[in-house]
Structure 1
């Protein structure tokens, strides 16, 4: 039987419902790459948020702090979504 993972859907699915049975069986390298992608996405969100929050004549450190908060919030949300999908759990864990 050929197990194929397409996107974030698991290869092991129920026969009729299509519900995911268990966590995804991804290698450590793929999971590390997904975390890196989340971090890079969060950096982009932080840059955009810091740029949009900066006002002419205001201190730049306020925009940097705002961007840092956006980075932390975005990274937390991304990792929470990956964790709830079962991407970050180890293959032996249930």
Structure 2
């Protein structure tokens, strides 16, 4: 979590802030503990996680930021296999 927080801070500084923080794929999509650890103590950057929404995530695209958060926090499911299949199909078509 610490390493990810370092990257978030670096990119937020380089971009002069962000509109959203996206969690996706394996751990980002399936670990409420990791999302909590990553967002913890980032409120000074406008990142405020809603703990209930974070813990109660089930499936699908969902916003999990608190009402006071200046940055949207989203969980977006991925399907790497379908993405690979679609790109391979496009390559075959030319």
Q: TM-score under structure 2 normalisation?
A: 0.27
Higher relative strand content: 2
Greater CA radius of gyration, 1 or 2?
A: 1
